[in-house]
Structure 1
């Protein structure tokens, strides 16, 4: 059962928890969640797909859980999406109604309300494991967002593999303030606690003070969140009593990793995943945690690296190759996109992630970045943007950096770094950073140009949108 910790038998045994989920000022017991979500299920049980405006509220959680109880596919819609993106998601997904809270842009479909205090104890049969639980839309960096089809059995397999890797149990209290329309915040961050039986504190906004005040054992955050916590010494030290700090959705800068370890006593868990794959790689609660590396395949996952000709890439910790993965938590394809689906899979069942990585002799993985943007081909060399970014972030005057290969008639691509200076430190200059990279890495990896900017473009999950830095 996907939400096995919410079944009536658990509550009848006295396993109810008064504060199973705390989101903002709303506190929900397990029986409250079950009763109110089942009431939602009764109102949508005849639908095939419903859209949920994924605001960080209790009603969003009840809407999602209610639809899952009824076996109705959920289409989470980012609350900050523009009109064109929202219209595309609704049309492409075939959603038949809005479920829960809406705003002035939620037009064209009937609205099914979610009531916090409604209750129903009707019993629904468990939907088929292979049925689609979610249509999650990608960020759309290379065109309109694609709908990723995730089944109930894929989600269950992914969550169970992470519970094993992180020794995650009902005794934990999960804390995060991540958006509820993506794998990280919604599936891992909400369905994970419900499946495992742990408590959840959703802070609505992922501020350092909110994390410090939550008193959790298992914290989820993106690198932007962890960077802000690392810069707030009092809040960081308050996390010393936690069990695990988990970072994902983008690479965690090595200086942030080291600062968190110094202030909290915890080396962060780093992991890797996508909407299409859920989480397939992670360092372990009982294993090595190496800055800049995302660890080993979780239970049931196989990986391999292939070069541009389709040949195996050696696991030597240096050679870069396209990362391919296979496992039980992978998606079932892109909605209405048979061509894109077919192009993403190999004949023997591996998904081509579009990311490039290196693997060492022990099987540890380091993600270099997207093959299309983070693998720079300059002067005949293949260079990963990530290692240059790590070197530049080692300068105390640098707050953020994004390295991109810009078209160049001589080199093919020249290495350019966009840098956000850190306030209240001696001003860093272009020669400082070029010399810093040259001292740590090969000469051909030095940036040809440093561009100082006030901010870097990011999406809602904190990922830098490097394509927006390239010339039109």
Structure 2
């Protein structure tokens, strides 16, 4: 990776090259602030960063990269248990961040109450975005760890994914190629700075390509409309809110690309954005462990539900029924595939889970392909569709394999349905029956109407057997529905 503050070819070092929540730095100023951080943390085993939306977070992460010290982003709203686990498991020796914010966080030097007693006391290094210092050191080994990013922990305590510098570089260079992303772009987003989407793509991507970055602080329709970008990043919740605000959506009509990720973009939102902005959104696919591996192209076809083609160097396949890849169909081929777990290999993969050799081994097949745990189909043209998680979204009903995402998109086509989540529930005859949880507007949709609506659009065996109406779906901070939190039938 190049130095974090280095501008891309031909880019001017504007005073507002990097703007976060209304505060700006030039690239030279960022490099100076990062140099001051790097000088303080040189030689540390790992450093945690209180990753709020601030220039200090960017300077802290950039300083870690300069010094070759693994960076561990910590969600600013994490509770004592989560924060304590991340700090202990990562072995972070220092906690960096915006002065007042990091001191007030659990484990950041504040006197801890009883609920926070388990949070380790880690020395705090306040970061000042106005500080300047030079830092001269050889480029770290490409195989060394750039970041330790913690997974969502849906199957236990979050695991730390070790991301090497070469993987980050390969991912960002692949996306620059796929999206024609250059130093002439202005990237706009308001995503959290402790995930792949907001931090790796949304900050390091801008620094590596040399594009200008405007982080809006919060991803509101008004902030996106006012930013004047050429490239916008958002999660489906962000795009849904923008599509519901026609004035804000039309303000994005001058953009070059609208990119959606972190969860499937509902087909109705895709169509609304296309109508209001004249843009077909770009969808892409990735995980913490793999970074981004599949994406629609700036100059290619973009269809609702399609995440496009593998990035350079990435190979994909659909696993057979036994799940070990022995009956897999190559994803880059032209033969198409059935439905099954997506497996892949390529240059952007992590090197393993920190201190979890068994979990690392279990995430790969015998021939070395990564098991994503996501259910996908690959068309004859090589375009990929992600239809859900293997653990919750591959439904086996009456001898058929049904992807929950396909049924959810069919439900969302109904004008009264605002949100939908589909699951498989044990059934004595079918094995599993398809059940839909729906958020609808008023009495405009009944259970029978929605069942018939899906059956008229998909195969009859894909229709829900039952529909339950909710006021809202449980979602996480990235807008993904949390099916394990749905009420039991």
What band does the TM-score fall into relative to the shorter chain?
A: over 0.9
Asked whether 1:76 is paired with 2:89, we answer no
Determine helix, strand or coil for the equivalent of 1:98. strand
Q: Which residue matches 2:250?
A: 237
Give the direction of change, closer, same or farther, for the CA distance of 1:416–1:271 in structure 2 (3 Å limit): same
Answer whether contact 2:293 2:311 (CA < 8 A) is retained.
yes
Cα distance in 1 for partners of 2:106, 2:364 equals 36
- Compute the displacement of 1:104 (Å): 3.6
Cα distance in 1 for partners of 2:267, 2:196 equals 24
Output aligned runs, 1:119-198, within 5 Å. Answer: 119-198=132-211
Q: Which residue matches 2:400?
A: 381
- Compute the displacement of 1:46 (Å): 2.4
Q: Which residue matches 2:437?
A: 418
Asked whether 1:270 is paired with 2:283, we answer yes
Q: Which residue matches 1:99?
A: 96
Q: Which residue matches 2:16?
A: 19
So what's the TM-score if we normalise by structure 1?
0.96
- Compute the displacement of 1:3 (Å): 3.3
Asked whether 1:392 is paired with 2:411, we answer yes
Q: Which residue matches 1:212?
A: 225
Cα distance in 1 for partners of 2:295, 2:430 equals 36
Answer whether contact 1:190 1:200 (CA < 8 A) is retained.
yes
- Compute the displacement of 1:461 (Å): 1.3
Answer whether contact 2:178 2:297 (CA < 8 A) is retained.
yes
Asked whether 1:468 is paired with 2:485, we answer yes
Cα distance in 2 for partners of 1:365, 1:5 equals 35
Output aligned runs, 1:304-323, within 5 Å. Answer: 304-309=317-322, 310-313=326-329, 319-323=338-342
- Compute the displacement of 1:318 (Å): 6.4
So what's the TM-score if we normalise by structure 2?
0.92
- Compute the displacement of 1:407 (Å): 2.1
Q: Which residue matches 1:451?
A: 468
Answer whether contact 2:51 2:57 (CA < 8 A) is retained.
yes
Q: Which residue matches 2:113?
A: none
Q: Which residue matches 1:441?
A: 458
Answer whether contact 2:337 2:380 (CA < 8 A) is retained.
no
Cα distance in 1 for partners of 2:92, 2:180 equals 37
Answer whether contact 1:406 1:470 (CA < 8 A) is retained.
no
Answer whether contact 1:418 1:452 (CA < 8 A) is retained.
yes
- Compute the displacement of 1:317 (Å): 5.3
Answer whether contact 1:77 1:89 (CA < 8 A) is retained.
yes
Q: Which residue matches 2:84?
A: 87
Answer whether contact 1:322 1:356 (CA < 8 A) is retained.
yes
Output aligned runs, 1:348-387, within 5 Å. Answer: 348-387=367-406
Answer whether contact 1:3 1:191 (CA < 8 A) is retained.
no
Q: Deviations over 1:330-351 (max 9, x none)?
A: 1000111101111111233211
- Compute the displacement of 1:177 (Å): 0.5
- Compute the displacement of 1:90 (Å): 1.0
Asked whether 1:255 is paired with 2:249, we answer no
Cα distance in 1 for partners of 2:227, 2:472 equals 29
State which of 227, 238, 244 in structure 2 corresponds to 1:225. Answer: 238
Q: Which residue matches 1:47?
A: 44
Q: How many residues align?
A: 467
Residue ranges of structure 2 left out of the alignment (5+ in a row): 109-120
Asked whether 1:342 is paired with 2:355, we answer no
Give the direction of change, closer, same or farther, for the CA distance of 1:117–1:265 in structure 2 (3 Å limit): same
The answer to which of 367-376 and 316-325 deviates more is: 316-325
Asked whether 1:62 is paired with 2:79, we answer no
Q: Which residue matches 2:112?
A: none
Cα distance in 1 for partners of 2:105, 2:486 equals 32
Residue ranges of structure 1 left out of the alignment (5+ in a row): none
Determine helix, strand or coil for the equivalent of 1:240. coil
Answer whether contact 1:393 1:401 (CA < 8 A) is retained.
yes
Q: Which residue matches 1:332?
A: 351
Determine helix, strand or coil for the equivalent of 2:377. strand
| Consecutive aligned runs of 4 or more in structure 1 exceeding 6 Å deviation | none
Structural RMSD (CA) = 1.8
State which of 117, 120, 124 in structure 2 corresponds to 1:111. Answer: 124
